[in-house]
Every structure is written in C-alpha cells, then in structure tokens.
Structure 1
Amino acid sequence: MSLQTHLVELERKHRQLEEAIAQAASRPSSDDLTVVEMKRKKLLLKEEIERVRQTMPDRTLH
C-alpha cells in the first residue's frame, strides 16, 4: 500500500470516528466510556496521520 493510499484510509477512519462521536454525544443514553474510547482512537489516528505526512516526500505546488 502506498503512503498516499494509507493516508487516505487513515483520514477516512478519522472522519468516521468523528461522526460516530458526534452521534453518540447527541444521544442522552450514550455510554461515556465508549465515547472516551472513540476519542482516544481518534487521537491515535490523528497522530498516525501526522507521522505518515512527515514521511511523505514534499510536493511542489504548480
């Protein structure tokens, strides 16, 4: 898998978690522990996204 493909997949998962967290937060019966776990996973994904971006070669803008 190329770095670009990996980055796109990580960003997709990050967005999905963001949406799931928003949905859970809007429900009064949501489990706080589950929301905290989703936020932790989202943060880990964000950190991984940054690591991948740092390893990618710089691109020149035209």
Structure 2
Amino acid sequence: MEMTEIENYKRQLGELRIEHRDLDQVIVRLSEDPLVDELQLKRLKKRKLMLKDMIAHLENKLIPDLNA
C-alpha cells in the first residue's frame, strides 16, 4: 500500500469519526425531546451505524495483514 493511499485512508477515517461523534451528539439531544420525529431519529441512528461500519472497514485496511 502506498503512502498516499494510507494518508487518504487516515484522512477519511478522521472525517468519519468526527461525523460519527457529531451524529451521536445530535441523536442524544433529539432523544431527550418528547416531540421528536421518530422517523428522523431512526434515520440518524441508521446513518450512525453505517458510519461505524465504514470506520471499521477503513481501520481493517490500515492494519497490516498478520499472515503476510
């Protein structure tokens, strides 16, 4: 894997982690609102899960293969 590719993965990983953290804060705030739109909350939670999967995928790409 080239350095530019590694740097690109690390940059993407940082951006995804920030978005995941921000989304978590929004979800917490909305969950406290008794008049929250449940559909919107569900969509935000689904997006957060998708981000978590994307983060895990990038982390796996950055970890060297132990069998190599």
Query: How many correspondences in the alignment?
Result: 58
TM-score calculated relative to the size of structure 2: 0.80
1:53 to 47, 50, 59: 59
Query: Are residue 29 (structure 1) and residue 35 (structure 2) matched?
Result: yes
Match of 1:14 in 2: 20
Tell me the alpha carbon deviations over residues 39-62 of structure 1, each in whole angstroms, 9 at most, x when there is no partner. 00000000000000000144xxxx
- Runs of at least 5 residues in structure 1 that lack an aligned partner in the other structure: none
For the pair shown, the structure with the greater C-alpha radius of gyration is 2
TM-score under structure 1 length normalisation: 0.88
- Give the equivalent residue in structure 2 for 1:44: 50
Identity of aligned residues (%): 28
Runs of 4+ in structure 1 off by over 6 angstroms are none
RMSD: 1.1
